[in-house]
Structure 1
């Protein structure tokens, strides 16, 4: 606990880590729609990693693509600390992190502000009652549509076969454009960057012989045109989780 508290204190010192408060989210987060002019100071495409954990993908992609800006989003401050330390130590200029819930995406990013979205090893939520929480559910797809550019791309990497097939079914049913699919990533030949960057847990799973799958797709522009509204109880639940993590 002492180490974790130290990490939380250090998180407050990172200029590239944003931790919006309840009041800031409700009043209108100042970075929404203005990440490039206010933080990155350029007009490069912005790529978001959702549920970035320790930031391995956010950092790895940023180092390989200096012509793009990268933002890692996660709810857990201790995980984000590791990514922040790497950015600080290696002086990586095109990275930001934000500690918040994925439920707040449209309160954090403006319309069509993102060019790509990475979802690496998300929680599969196999229970039917929690299907809405899956990051590739219609619930989230509709909201990605609001913050992704029309030609924006979604990348999914997972070790969970049921989640892979669930996402594949959603793509087909909702009429999204499938750009690439690899049911067994490391026995096929995709773009090298998909295999080059590996999270800590991905390396463990590979050693255990698990199959890693990958999908790349573009959302159907006819879907999900309605704005998303967050209810008060969602705000309350989100900030309760933040307090529990401190």
Structure 2
């Protein structure tokens, strides 16, 4: 496994759409922040961001379905993300990028208002209470997202973990954010959403075992109050 990861690392550095900014680069200013278009993307579209992307199945799907949109996948585990990056290269997709970094660095990767939607697919539920601040829907991370989202934004969460799902619902309610939709059984719901069209490897296994997939989408109150440009 270690050898395979080393191969991924070496290959990822050859990909023109795979970025791994060093700490000093984040401090001094990531060159694409606020400048993804035209420095990387060829179209002036808002960014659709997949956070904790794993193999980036959602980014690959969305980049294929929506060629006029710009898509970015972020994860700290580069070996997994490399799989999606390589697939985009093989498909000839030029509207997707991949960034290996911590989620708390997002405000150093994107400028205010540069991101339109955030997808959070099956994040680590961090089940122990002392780890709540590490949950990707904790107030700490929502503040990070607020720094990069535009007023028309949407945040999507898809999970199989009931405790994490209800924790997120409570955060949305307690913090005064706007819940747009929530379901405890995505594939039995009537919601017409692209989120149904992508199933990860493990999601297929969970569904086969009879597990329910939970889904919600919401908006952040502070971002909604921002004036539209």
Same fold (TM over 0.5): yes
CA contact (8 A) 1:143 1:224 kept: no
Total equivalences in the alignment: 225
Correspondence for 2:82: 81
Correspondence for 1:161: 162
Cα separation, 1, equivalents of 2:105 and 2:56: 19
Q: TM-score, normalised by structure 1?
A: 0.88
Equivalences for residues 1-246 of structure 1 within 5 A: 1-221=2-222
How far apart are 1:180 and its partner, in Å? 1.2
For the aligned residue pairs, the C-alpha RMSD in angstroms reads 1.6
CA contact (8 A) 1:141 1:224 kept: no
Structure 1, unaligned stretches of length 5 or more? 226-246
Structure 2, unaligned stretches of length 5 or more? none
Cα separation, 2, equivalents of 1:112 and 1:197: 26
Cα separation, 1, equivalents of 2:141 and 2:193: 28
* Cα distance per residue 1:37-79 (max 9 Å; x no partner): 2100221121110001111011011111112111000111210
Cα separation, 2, equivalents of 1:165 and 1:43: 37
**Structure 1 moving runs of 4+ over 3 Å:** 222-225
Which stretch of the first structure deviates more once superposed, 125-134 or 10-19? 125-134
Cα separation, 1, equivalents of 2:223 and 2:214: 27
Cα separation, 2, equivalents of 1:212 and 1:179: 17
SS of match in other structure, 2:156 = strand
